[in-house]
Amino acid sequence: MHSPRFHLDHRFTRGRLSAFHDGELGPVERRRVEHHIADCPDCGRAARSLQRVIGGLALLRRRNRSRLAAGVIERLRTQTRRDGDGSRH
């Protein structure tokens, strides 16, 4: 049987998983969530699947950003080439 403390932590964790993953919890709250996730298979599973979703989103954002960066760099290169094309007096 789980202690009443466990059930309190369970509710606490369930309400804060996404804040936990977003790094929005204070150190005390985060420790409480981490501790509970380690003890509770349910919350552990929920935390991992949330982690996957958030990790996937972050990866997507990172890809988009690098594509954007590549476009900017390409534009700068074109610009630089054009400026260098014998227009010097």
| Binding stretches for Zn ion (CB under 5 A) | 10, 40, 42-43
CB of 13 to Zn ion, least distance (A): 5
Structure tokens at 3: 């202690």
Q: Which tokens in the block code for residue 28?
A: 């005390």
CB–CB of 71/45 below 8 Å? no
For Zn ion, the closer of residues 46 and 74 by Cβ is: 46
H-type helices in 4-40, by residue range?
4-21, 27-39
CB 41, min distance to Zn ion, A: 8
Which of residues 27 and 41 has its CB atom nearest to Zn ion in the complex? Answer: 41
